[in-house]
Structure 1
Amino acid sequence: MKNILVIGYSSRNIACSANTAGYNVYAIDAFCDRDLENNTCKCHALMEEDIHEVDREEIVRIMDSFKTDFDGVVLGSGFEKLERDIFECPVLNNSVRQMEIVSDKKRFAKELQKLAIPHPETHVATNPPQINTPMILKPAIGGGGIFNKIVTSTDELEYQIDNICKTGNFNPDELILQEVVHGNAASVSMISNGNQATAIAVNEQLIGIPWLTNMPFAYCGNITPMQTPYEKEMIGICEKLCKHFKLKGSNGMDFIITEKGPVILEINARFQGSLDSVEIATGINLFQAHVDAFNGKLPEKPKYQRWGGRTIIYASEKPITISKQISEVFGKGRFADIPKSGYEAYLDDPVVSILAEGNSRNDVMGHMKEQAKMLHKIL
């Protein structure tokens, strides 16, 4: 397997890992950032098109334009349910049926109930219970936390349903209502082969960080490792779920660690945003581990070699246009998802990622804060 096609809303981290592993990488991506271009043979940006309207015929047209025979395809965020019959090579992903079950928070909650695994009480938003305490309204599938809203009454629920449907192009029946679970956000990165699974890392999730975004539930990155007394319990839950759903490749499980223990929120049955921090902290190449898992081979659990981090800066105060000067700054530091000159980030759009490594969590967080402070002065 030599030529790999990666398709995703933001696929830079997957492509970079594949390139490091020695593959010839081609990508179809929303942005085609500078570092994606630098790590691929060719990439096609979907920014000129409505990514939600990209159909199979358009994907086939773009693939044909690469004039390359692919040995494998990896589908990233936003394209996990793309029809597999358009590809003439293996698709290294969980099946569409698996994705439909684990990515739909309504269906996933029912499976968790059968397995007696702690999870938030979940309801269809259009058929809510009596709202006596704050609850969280969110899309049943995807969203990255951007559309999540706290509601405290039926009137507020109706208002926010209308608001999310307008801003996010959702239908009311695509939204769910969950109990608010308080604690620390975490994730576990797994590699599985359909029968067995290996835990690669436990990660701290950075959600709604004020110096990165104004959106209280937006995903802002990860720090790896996360040290928690519940590590073994979380890994046990993840191993059980990987086996139950017969998952393959790289899969991530999101948790809230409460005072009583871990509560699972969702499965990302594809490469996750934590890829950078996991690779920095462990030294493992996650793309190669992912490919090997589809051949039945699992890695040994790696040891942490250092702390790794990735944060995402959003356009939180105003829209931002990337000038040549700003682009040059990005080229000198340890940044990722680097936009080209002229890129326009609208309010609440992601701008760039900051990567860091160190001998402690404080080292990593301190470096990322310093870099973010510097960027806020020039953006």
Structure 2
Amino acid sequence: MDNLVILGIDTRPQVNSALKLKYNLYSSAYYTTIDFPKNVLEKHILNEEADTSCGLFEENYSAKKLLINVRDYLDSADNIILTSGISGDDFTGEFKKYKSKIIGNKSTEHVSDKYRFYNKISNKFLCPMTFLISDVDELGEILKEYDEVSFILKPNKGSGGYDTIHLNYDAYIKDNQIKNSIENILLSQDEILVQEFISGVNISSSVLASSTDAKTIMNTRLLTLDDIGFKGDYRYCGNIMPLDIKSIQQFTRFNIPHDEIGIKNLNEDMNMLSEEIIKESKLIGSNGVDLILSGEENNEGNILNNDIYLIEVNPRFQGTYECVEKVLSINLLEEHIKACNGELIEELNPNTHAIKEILYAQSKIKQGNLNIDGLYDISHENTIIEKDQPLVTIIKECGNVKKGLKEIKSLKDKINSNIYPIDN
């Protein structure tokens, strides 16, 4: 039986899939949660203790820490699976010799460097206008030249919507606090991507790829905190799938008519675009493609016929992982491994809807008992979670989207009654 090591920020979903396959299983993650399987050898960076703060993820996590933590597992590993927060490019120095054991993409710099990726594909695919800056003066010149355009500023490398700022020239020259925020980001990031803001609907494709072909297995309505009411906060917080009329109509400020032909055509266009970009990027296994359906008004009054903008490619498992498994009744880890070995899944039969929402602490809190059905990634009772840090994940399988959202609201009420604000 082969030894399989799974690495990432949160490995729980992939570990649960791997337990259904024939492996000796090991895991190294940042988080440790009460719903992590008990019979798996694992190491974690974050050690939670009652009445003690979990600290800030962005200050405490690094891929190097993860590798050092799991060093003794890697020698005996036959294969390695990577999830979010680590890539084959992180296997340098003493860890370079383990890179060949990775099942999946062994090098992703050509897509994880967003500006490099943009320069390569912008003449073939519709992309937002994009620049790379290293100081605020460069930014001021760009904003002044395109003073009627608003932009999104985000790290050139990284994901999840962290350190993202939405601004235009007027806001830049009037608000010194924004300038200070940008300078602070530059101190840690060196470079910032400046990308034209496309007003529209966030959508995404999950794609399985072999070395010769690619197949979109699921399209989804992607959710950020901005979508669900936290204006200007573009952190990823969930999804609704599959992408149909009911899912795309949720949390949108745009008029989307009940147009079954329009949604069918949109899905087909997404499939073609996503498969083409994954093949163009020479990626294998499970990958994600983030897109925006433009919300610009048209003569038909139907944005389903609007342009689709390519935003970025995520060369790894996506946050949609467990929802895809539920909707398609598949083991996505198994299908990822098969795809890397040249075998793509054939039959795809969505048989339900699934909704995911990640909740973030809106203030510093002490967590009570959240061992509740439908909740995942649950911290230990009485740990302290800092403001804006992930609190818990809700995953709801449902036949009806509106009913599912109503059940999620009920779960949120239970969560709120089991968390306790802490005064600083």
Q: Give the TM-score normalised by the residue count of structure 1.
A: 0.88
User: How far apart, in 1, do the equivalents of 2:315 and 2:216 lie?
Assistant: 14
2:119 aligned residue (110, 124, 128): 110
**Deviation at residue 19 of structure 1 after TM alignment:** 2.0
**Deviation at residue 366 of structure 1 after TM alignment:** 2.0
Matched, 1:93 2:104: yes
Matched, 1:235 2:253: no
User: How far apart, in 2, do the equivalents of 1:246 and 1:192 lie?
Assistant: 9
Task: Determine the structure 1 residue equivalent to 2:52.
Answer: none
User: How far apart, in 2, do the equivalents of 1:351 and 1:14 lie?
Assistant: 20
1:119–1:88 CA distance, 2 compared to 1 (3 A): closer
**What SS does the corresponding residue of 2:415 show, helix, strand or coil?**
helix
CA contact (8 A) 1:192 1:247 kept: yes
CA contact (8 A) 2:45 2:69 kept: no
2:286 aligned residue (237, 247, 250): 250
Deviations, residues 252-279 of structure 1 (Å, cap 9, x unaligned):
0011111322111111100110001111
**Deviation at residue 140 of structure 1 after TM alignment:** 1.1
Match runs of 1:1-379 below 5 Å: 2-38=2-38, 41-47=40-46, 51-53=60-62, 55=64, 59-60=67-68, 62-64=70-72, 66=73, 69-80=76-87, 81-83=89-91, 85-87=96-98, 90-96=101-107, 99-115=108-124, 117-125=125-133, 126=135, 127-128=138-139, 129=142, 130-132=145-147, 133-153=149-169, 154-155=172-173, 160=178, 162-164=180-182, 166=184, 170-173=188-191, 175-208=192-225, 216-227=233-244, 228=263, 229-258=265-294, 259=303, 260-316=306-362, 318-323=363-368, 326=369, 330-379=370-419
User: How far apart, in 2, do the equivalents of 1:311 and 1:155 lie?
Assistant: 36
Which stretch shows the higher mean deviation, 147-156 or 305-314?
147-156
**Deviation at residue 52 of structure 1 after TM alignment:** 4.4
User: How far apart, in 1, do the equivalents of 2:411 and 2:68 lie?
Assistant: 40
**Deviation at residue 114 of structure 1 after TM alignment:** 2.9
Q: Highest relative contact order (Cα 8 Å, sep 6+), 1 or 2? A: 2
What one-letter code is carried by the residue in structure 2 that aligns with 1:31? Y
CA contact (8 A) 1:256 1:265 kept: yes
1:23–1:156 CA distance, 2 compared to 1 (3 A): farther
Deviations, residues 94-116 of structure 1 (Å, cap 9, x unaligned):
122xx11111221121122132x
User: How far apart, in 2, do the equivalents of 1:160 and 1:341 lie?
Assistant: 37
User: How far apart, in 1, do the equivalents of 2:277 and 2:407 lie?
Assistant: 35
1:31–1:214 CA distance, 2 compared to 1 (3 A): farther
CA contact (8 A) 2:100 2:106 kept: no
User: How far apart, in 2, do the equivalents of 1:67 and 1:147 lie?
Assistant: 33
1:319–1:37 CA distance, 2 compared to 1 (3 A): farther
**Deviation at residue 357 of structure 1 after TM alignment:** 0.8
CA contact (8 A) 1:17 1:287 kept: yes
Identity of aligned residues (%): 24
Alignment gaps of 5+ in structure 1: none
User: How far apart, in 2, do the equivalents of 1:59 and 1:331 lie?
Assistant: 30
1:356–1:21 CA distance, 2 compared to 1 (3 A): farther
**Deviation at residue 53 of structure 1 after TM alignment:** 4.8
Root-mean-square deviation (Å): 2.6
What one-letter code is carried by the residue in structure 2 that aligns with 1:287? L
CA contact (8 A) 2:213 2:279 kept: yes
**What SS does the corresponding residue of 2:195 show, helix, strand or coil?**
strand
User: How far apart, in 2, do the equivalents of 1:302 and 1:266 lie?
Assistant: 25
1:341–1:151 CA distance, 2 compared to 1 (3 A): same
**Deviation at residue 144 of structure 1 after TM alignment:** 1.1
**Deviation at residue 11 of structure 1 after TM alignment:** 2.0
1:160–1:176 CA distance, 2 compared to 1 (3 A): farther
**Deviation at residue 211 of structure 1 after TM alignment:** 6.3
**Deviation at residue 167 of structure 1 after TM alignment:** 6.2
User: How far apart, in 1, do the equivalents of 2:219 and 2:380 lie?
Assistant: 33
Task: Determine the structure 1 residue equivalent to 2:54.
Answer: none
**What SS does the corresponding residue of 1:36 show, helix, strand or coil?**
coil
CA contact (8 A) 2:63 2:85 kept: no
Q: Which has the larger radius of gyration?
A: 2
CA contact (8 A) 1:213 1:313 kept: no
Deviations, residues 190-226 of structure 1 (Å, cap 9, x unaligned):
1001210111100111111576867621111111101
1:277–1:322 CA distance, 2 compared to 1 (3 A): same
CA contact (8 A) 1:14 1:271 kept: no
Alignment gaps of 5+ in structure 2: 48-56, 245-262, 295-302, 420-424
**Deviation at residue 143 of structure 1 after TM alignment:** 3.7
Which stretch shows the higher mean deviation, 149-158 or 132-141?
149-158
